[in-house]
Amino acid sequence: MDMHERLRQAREKAGFEDAASAARRFGWGLSSYRSHENGQRGYKLDKAIAYGRAFRVSPEWLLFGKGDGQRKPVPLVGYVGAGAEMIPHDDGGALDEIEPPPGVGPSAVAVRVRGDSMYPRYMDGDLLIYDSHASIYDANGQECVVSLPDGRAFVKTVRLEPGGKVTLESWNAPPIHGTMPVWVAPIVWVKRRS
């Protein structure tokens, strides 16, 4: 199988019906992406990394066919509840693995909602998937998993305030004003309980 055929296969396994829907979802130029997928033009490592991240396969498999080309599952790393505080799995491992939804990168992880502390936004059993950490500026106005200097983690909407401090807002808890999170990671997918 050639690299363009592996790219097409990865896109299909990721749940994108056609090249246009994948290009639109990830902001890629359609003619360029199509030419990579139909074999008119090859692609280099930087594109293989971007495509691999988008479709949750390794860039080495896309470029060289090394490995099996299987989509990586999303690890479930903890729970969120009790006032929307995140409770990580203590040993750094995964509690479970879930089938990745379309378009989440290979570093994505999930937390499961416990209880009704975030109702009506999230229900008991929902999965919140977040990916890469973002800058405060990029996360401004977005709902994120947020890690604070005291070790607590929450699901909050990030609001950048004048002077560089941050206010963290949520549905059912008072805002946390004037803090500076250690990291923020926007929620990229919500998988509703079945």
Name the residue ranges covered by the structural domains of the chain: 3-64, 74-191
> In the prediction, which pLDDT does 96 show?
85
> In the prediction, which pLDDT does 154 show?
84
> In the prediction, which pLDDT does 129 show?
92
> In the prediction, which pLDDT does 87 show?
64
pTM, rounded to two decimals: 0.67
Q: What is the CATH number of domain 3-64?
A: 1.10.260.40
pLDDT < 50: residue spans in the chain = 82
Evaluate whether 154 touches 84 at the Cβ level (below 8 Å): yes
> In the prediction, which pLDDT does 10 show?
92
CATH architecture of the region 74-191: Ribbon (2.10)
Same fold, 3-64 and 74-191: no
**How many CB atoms neighbour CB 112 within 10 A?**
22
- Tell me the pLDDT tens digit for each residue of 89-125: 555 566 788 888 876 776 788 988 888 878 888 888 9
